[in-house]
């Protein structure tokens, strides 16, 4: 059984984004047939909605579920994900099924792929100044600390690090880490905070056209292996766990 991250955060999610060079065709028969095939594999995915003029969403009927699968079709993007999955193996099963099914039903192929992303999201609920918490927890002893400490600084109001590295010499596989604060300035000014998720995102991205390996499923499995390794060895111990401990200490 694959690992679960429920014990390190309040909510965990995995999302995927395949960006295409050409727009998808949203013919009624094509889309309904694709969604019907998805429903046969995942019977709970029965809720079909039009989010705007150019997006269709199929998802599980989430009010009675702690976890939820979803798919979103946009003109040049195929998105899908799993909110609070029981384990990562369930995510891999869903993703492999969709990546084998979608190209045939929605008519896209490797020549059309621009890049593909796997995103791990770790949410930590906190009723307080998210930016201040990140600054004090992760940057207290950092050289940058002198920029947001001192008698002339009242509060930290924007502390959202975003970092990216290449994992290959060709730069076709990349890893990004982002910390997303949701504290508004008026909350800081009034010192009144609503519980909101402080999020840590790990994104693995692959660009096509730089190597001979263009198989979508194989590339996805490679990204998931990277994501699991980075989450286990870096993101969780260096970012998620310290932030979770800092939040727990203030409750």
pLDDT at 140 over 90: no
* Cβ-count burial 34-51 (b if 16+ within 10 Å, e if not): bbeebeeebeebeeeeee
77-83 β-sheet, strand order: 45-52, 55-60, 68-74, 77-83, 11-20, 113-126, 196-207, 173-180, 162-166
Give the DSSP letter string of 107-132: T--GGGEEEEEEEEEEEEEESS-HHH
Q: How far apart are CA 4 and CA 19, in angstroms?
A: 27
Superfamily, domain 11-249: Sirohaem synthase, central domain (3.30.160.110)
Strands (E), 75-195: 77-83, 113-126, 162-166, 173-180
SS3 (DSSP) at 160: coil
Q: Where are the domains of the chain?
A: 11-249
Q: What is the pLDDT of residues 31-82, one digit of tens each?
A: 999 999 999 999 999 999 988 778 999 999 866 667 899 999 999 999 999 9
80 bridge partner residues:
16, 71
**Mean pLDDT of the region 159-181:** 96
pTM of the full structure: 0.93
**Mean pLDDT of the region 152-168:** 93
Kindly state the tokens that stand for 34: 């694709």
Q: Measured on CA atoms in the order 120, 25, 48, 50, is the torsion positive or negative?
A: positive
> Over the chain, what is the mean pLDDT?
91
Q: What is the pLDDT of residues 1-33, one digit of tens each?
A: 456 677 899 999 999 999 999 988 778 888 999
**Mean pLDDT of the region 224-238:** 96
């Amino acid at each position: 059984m694959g690992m679960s991250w429920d014990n390190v955060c309040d909510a965990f999610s995995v999302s995927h984004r395949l960006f295409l060079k050409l727009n998808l065709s949203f013919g009624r028969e094509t889309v309904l047939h694709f969604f019907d095939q998805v429903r046969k594999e995942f019977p709970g995915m029965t809720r079909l909605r039009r989010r705007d003029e150019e997006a269709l969403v199929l998802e599980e009927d989430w009010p009675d579920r702690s976890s939820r699968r979803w798919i979103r079709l946009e003109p040049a993007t195929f998105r899908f994900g799993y909110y609070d999955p029981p384990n990562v193996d369930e995510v891999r099963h869903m993703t492999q099924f969709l990546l084998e099914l979608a190209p045939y039903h929605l008519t896209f192929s490797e020549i059309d792929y621009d890049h593909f992303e796997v995103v791990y999201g770790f949410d930590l609920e906190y009723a307080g100044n998210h930016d201040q918490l990140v600054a004090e927890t992760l940057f207290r002893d950092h050289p940058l600390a002198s920029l947001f400490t001192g008698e002339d600084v009242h509060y930290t109001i924007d502390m959202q690090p975003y970092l990216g590295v290449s994992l290959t010499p060709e730069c076709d596989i990349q890893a990004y880490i982002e910390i997303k604060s949701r504290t508004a300035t008026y909350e800081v000014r009034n010192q009144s905070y609503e519980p909101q998720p402080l999020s840590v995102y790990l994104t693995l991205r692959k660009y096509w056209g730089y190597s001979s390996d263009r198989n979508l499923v194989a590339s996805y499995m490679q990204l998931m292996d990277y994501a699991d390794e980075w989450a286990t060895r870096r993101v969780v111990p260096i970012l998620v766990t310290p932030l979770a401990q800092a939040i727990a200490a203030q409750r």
